[in-house]
Amino acid sequence: MKISLIIPTLNEIDGMKKIIPLIQKEWVDEIIIVDGGSTDGTIEEAEKFGFTVIKQKTKGKHGAAIHDGFEYTDADILIMFGADGNNEPNEIPKIISKMKEGYDQVIVARFGKTSINEDAGLIDGFGNKLFTFLANIFYGGKLVDTLSSSRAITRKAWNEIRLDDFDMTLVYQMSIRGLIKKQKIVDIDGNEPARIGGKRKMYRIPTGLKLCSLLFRELFWKG
């Protein structure tokens, strides 16, 4: 069983310097950096640790980088991870352990009962819980965090849901289509530390509007 860790980057040198050294290579079979055009030394920092670096070729944001990373590798399990400090490296082995139990998707929930969230304010926290609640109501789920970008999915499950979103909202589509296909999905409580340097790439109003559109549009997905 081959496991790949996919890390999208765009000028995340501060986060890379603190986060990358904490990722143990023996956890996974390969670590792939999908870079969207960094100019701050992010690529050089990744190469220093011997990680595979590919240039993002698909037009779009976070979702586009994920598509490129998944297309590049032939791994059986694909783990998404951020380089901005919002994801904790010590959660990677927990994700892998849970995936080996036979789940199609494992989501690191930032708003679980034991989670500590140092990054999301009241507005972001409310929005996350609202969209998760609506996804559960519309699509028959019991998920805790449908918008978390720290997650894993099997190759089979990825191919089954045929995602066509290339923005920050790809993770929401991944959750919803997983529910539609009745995939075996589980949340595990995790933390969201404060962002380390760099510029935040998610803007509330445009993202909120895209999430609303996606929530209703998926009702008509034929699967």
Instruction: Delimit the domains of the chain by residue range.
Output: 3-220
Superfamily, domain 3-220? Spore Coat Polysaccharide Biosynthesis Protein SpsA; Chain A (3.90.550.10)
d(CA 124, CA 161): 27
**Tally of CA atoms within 13 A in the half-sphere of 35 that contains its CB:** 22
Mean pLDDT of 73-88: 94
Q: What is the pTM of this model?
A: 0.93
Structure confidence by residue, pLDDT tens digits, 118-147: 777 788 878 899 999 999 999 999 999 999
Phi, psi of 24 (to 5 degrees): -85, 125
Mean pLDDT of 185-191: 95
**Whose structure tokens read 């590919």?**
54
